[in-house]
């Protein structure tokens, strides 16, 4: 709500619904600095690239793809990981 002066009267007015309440005392006004933006994801979303890869479980031809390291500290090799878009099966190659 924001303070509004109309003639001799002072009101607090809601910026959304325009509801107003008359002020009878001196209000203490505070201001919040900086607004935090929040991203709302309403359903599970996978933010990975999709490639043409046949799922070994269901035969679907589309899968999510990413890479990751495997092995010990001395000998690390990159592996490719895939997740079927249809059945969700995950497998790795390499």
- Please check whether residue 61 is in contact with residue 53, taking contact to mean a CB–CB distance below 8 angstroms: yes
- Low pLDDT (below 70) residues in the chain: 1, 23-46, 69-77
pLDDT of residue 54: 96
Give domain limits for the chain: 1-26, 50-93
pLDDT of residue 78: 81
Conformational region of residue 62, where left means phi above 0, alpha means psi within -120 to 50, and beta covers everything else: beta
pLDDT of residue 42: 56
- Assign a CATH topology to domain 50-93: N-terminal domain of TfIIb (2.20.25)
pLDDT of residue 59: 96
- What the block records as the tokens of 13 is 């007015």
This prediction's pTM: 0.48
């Amino acid at each position: 709500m924001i303070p509004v002066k109309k003639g001799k009267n002072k009101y607090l007015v809601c910026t959304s619904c325009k509801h107003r309440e008359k002020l009878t005392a001196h209000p203490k006004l505070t201001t919040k600095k900086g607004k935090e933006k929040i991203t709302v994801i309403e359903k599970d979303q996978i933010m990975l690239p999709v490639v043409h890869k046949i799922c070994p479980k269901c035969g679907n031809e589309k899968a999510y793809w990413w890479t990751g390291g495997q092995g010990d500290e001395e000998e690390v090799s990159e592996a490719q990981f895939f997740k079927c878009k249809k059945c969700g099966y995950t497998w790795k190659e390499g």
